[in-house]
Amino acid sequence: MAKAFHSSGNGRTLALWVVALVSLAAILTALWQLHAGTRGLEIRQIQVDGVPMTLYLPAREAPAPVAVIAHGFAGSRQMMQPLAITLARNGYIALTFDFPGHGANTQPFVADLLDEDKRRGLLGGALETAVTTGLALPRSDGRLALLGHSMAGDIILMHMHEHSDRVRAAVLLSPYISGAFPMETLNNLLFVFGGLEPAGLHQAALAAFAPLTDTPETGVTYGNMADGSARRLALAGGVEHIGVLYARDMLRESLAWLNASVSPAGASHDGDLDRRGPWLGLLFLGIIALAWPLSRLLPRVAVPSVGLGLPRRQLLKILWLPALLTPLLLWPVPVGLLPLLLVDYLALHFAVYGLLCWGLLGWSARRHRESAGVTIRWQALAPAVLLAAGYLTLAIGIPVHLYVTGYLPGPERALILPLVFLGMLLFFSADEWMTRGSEAARGAYALTKVFLFLSLILAVALRLETLFFLIIILPAILVCLTVYGLLSGWIYRATGHPWVGATAVALALAWGMSVTFPLVGA
C-alpha cells in the first residue's frame, strides 16, 4: 500500500509540473501573439478635456480617414481594441475613448438611466470631443466614420443627425436605440447583431431601412453607397451581446462597410482582421490552469478540512428561501446609495442573500461539531488569503486591463471597493461553508450559483426599469462565478478552510464590479 501511495504521489507531482509548464507556455504564446497583433502600429494615450483616448495610427503615413469607436454600458475603450486594431492595420486612423463614468473617465455618468436627455447630452459631449480630436489630427484627411456598441447606438445616431454632412458611414453593434429616432437621412448605416441575441432586438434598426424595405433580410445591402442611402443588417454567428466585439464576422462586415464608404486612398485592403479572440482564450485558459499547481503552494490552514458540506436534499430545502426573499426584501430599497451605478444593488443583493443563508444554516452549533479534532493554523490563514486573493485579482486582472476592459481602479472607485467587498463576503462565506466539507453533495457549488442567478433574474423582472442594464451584465457575472468557483475549489482542497476561497473570490468579484460599472454623481 505504501508503494502504491508513493507511486500515486509521484504521478500527481508529475501532473502538477506538466500542467504548470504547459500553462506557462500557453500564457507566453498568447502574450506574444497579442503583442504581434499591434506590430507596425503607433499607439498613443492622450486626454482631451477630461476624456481619455487611445489613438491607433497605421504604419502608412499618408492622410487617412478617421474612425471614432465608442464602447457600451459598463465598457471602456479597451473593449473596442479588436475594431481599432483591425481598422488601423487596414489604413484607418482609429480612435477609442472612455465615456463619462466609464474606464478612466472620472466625470460622473447619469445616476438615473431613465433621464434620456441628460444621458444623451453627457455621452454626446464626449463623442463630440473625440470626433473633434480625431479630425484635427495632422494625418486626418477630413473623412469620418463612427462605430459604436450597445449604449453608444443612439449617441452615434444623434451625432450623425446633428452633423449629417460630416459622417460618411456608421457601424452600430447590437445598438441600444431609445425611442423613435430619425434615421432616414443618415449616411450608410450598418447594423451588426450577435447571432445568439434575440431577434426582437433588431426592431430598433428597422426604421433605418424605410422606405427601402419594411422587412430587411440579413446579409443584404439596400440602397446606394454613393449617395449615402446604403443600409445593411448583418449577424455575427455564435456570439451574444458582448461576444460580438470579438467576432470575425463583425470585423469583416465592419471593414468591408467602411472600405466601401470611406476607403483610405492608396491603402491595400486585404481583410487584415484582428485575431485576438482565440489568443485571449488561450491566455486566460493558461492563467486559470496555472492556478491548480500554484494552489498546492498555499499553506495548509485546517487539518483535517473544515466545512458544513450540506447534502443536496438539505441544500434544496433552504436555497429557495433566500433566492425568493432577497429580491422581495430589496424591492422597495432605492438604487443609488453608492456612486457606482447598479453596484449598490448588487452588493446589497449578495449581502442580504448571504445573511439569509447564514441564518438558515444554524451554522454556529453545527460548526462546533464539525470542528472537533480539527487543528486550525491561524497564523497560516492571512498568508493563504493574501496569496489566493492576489492571484485572482492581479494575475487575472492585469491581462484583463491590458486586453479586455479597464480593471485598475482610480481613487474614486478604490474608496467604494471595501463596501462592495463586504457584501460579496457575506454571501461567499456562507456559500463556501455550505458547499465545502466531507458531506458536501457533488455539484453543490454550482447548485447554489444557479439559485443565486435565478434570484438576480427575479430582481431584474421586479424592477426592470431601474435594473434593465443588469440583463447585459448577468452573463459576465455567470462566467466570473464559474471561473472563480473552479479556482476556489482548488484553494479549499489545498488549505482545508472555507474562509480562504471565500475571501479571495469575494475580493475578486467586488474588484471587478467596482471598476467596470459606471461612476455616477449625485
Rounded-to-integer distance, Cα 117 and Cα 479, Å = 34
Provide the pLDDT confidence category of residue 272 given band limits of 50, 70 and 90: confident
Residue 270 confidence (pLDDT):
56
DSSP secondary structure of 205-248: GGGGGTTT-SSPPBT-EES-TTTT--EEEEEETT--TTGGGG-H
Whether pLDDT at 198 is above 60? yes
**In sequence order, which residues have a C-beta less than 8 Å from that of residue 265 and are 6 or more positions away?**
62, 63, 64, 141
* Portion of the chain with pLDDT greater than 70, in percent: 95
Whether pLDDT at 424 is above 50? yes
Residue 317 confidence (pLDDT):
85
Q: Among the listed ranges 369-373, 437-441, 490-494, which one has the minimum average pLDDT value?
A: 369-373
Q: How far is CA 307 from CA 257, 368, 444, in A?
A: 57, 10, 13
Q: 411 with 338: CB under 8 angstroms? A: no
Q: 98 with 107: CB under 8 angstroms? A: no
CATH fold for the domain made of 38-274: Rossmann fold (3.40.50)
Rounded-to-integer distance, Cα 104 and Cα 52, Å = 7
User: Which tens digit of pLDDT belongs to each residue from 455-467?
Assistant: 999 999 999 888 8
Whether pLDDT at 332 is above 70? yes
Dihedral sign, CA of 93, 408, 24, 446?
A: negative
Q: What is the pTM of this model?
A: 0.89
Retrieve residue 315's grid coordinates: 441544500
Residue 235: other Cβ atoms inside 10 A: 22
Rounded-to-integer distance, Cα 323 and Cα 468, Å = 19
Strands (E) in 366-451, as ranges, are 375-376
Give the amino acid at 509. L
User: Which tens digit of pLDDT belongs to each residue from 477-498?
Assistant: 889 999 999 999 999 999 999 9
Provide the pLDDT confidence category of residue 265 given band limits of 50, 70 and 90: low
Give the bridge partners for 189, in sequence order: 170, 231
Which 3 state secondary structure label does DSSP give 334?
coil
User: Which tens digit of pLDDT belongs to each residue from 200-223?
Assistant: 888 888 889 988 898 999 999 999
Rounded-to-integer distance, Cα 51 and Cα 124, Å = 12
Residue 371 confidence (pLDDT):
53
Whether pLDDT at 6 is above 70? no
Provide the pLDDT confidence category of residue 357 given band limits of 50, 70 and 90: very high
Helix, strand and coil percent figures for the chain, each rounded to 5: 55, 15, 30
The more confidently predicted of residues 424 and 264 is 424
> Dihedrals φ, ψ of 46, to 5°?
-135, 170
User: Which tens digit of pLDDT belongs to each residue from 426-438?
Assistant: 999 999 999 998 7
If residue 171 lies in a helix (H) or strand (E), which one and from where to where? Answer: strand 167-173
Q: How many helices and strands (H and E) does the chain possess?
A: 17, 11
Domain limits, the chain: 38-274, 299-516
* Portion of the chain with pLDDT greater than 90, in percent: 74
User: Which tens digit of pLDDT belongs to each residue from 234-247?
Assistant: 999 999 999 999 99
Rounded-to-integer distance, Cα 398 and Cα 414, Å = 16
Give the amino acid at 198. P
Rounded-to-integer distance, Cα 388 and Cα 202, Å = 43
Average pLDDT of the segment spanning 260-282: 80
Retrieve residue 484's grid coordinates: 472563480
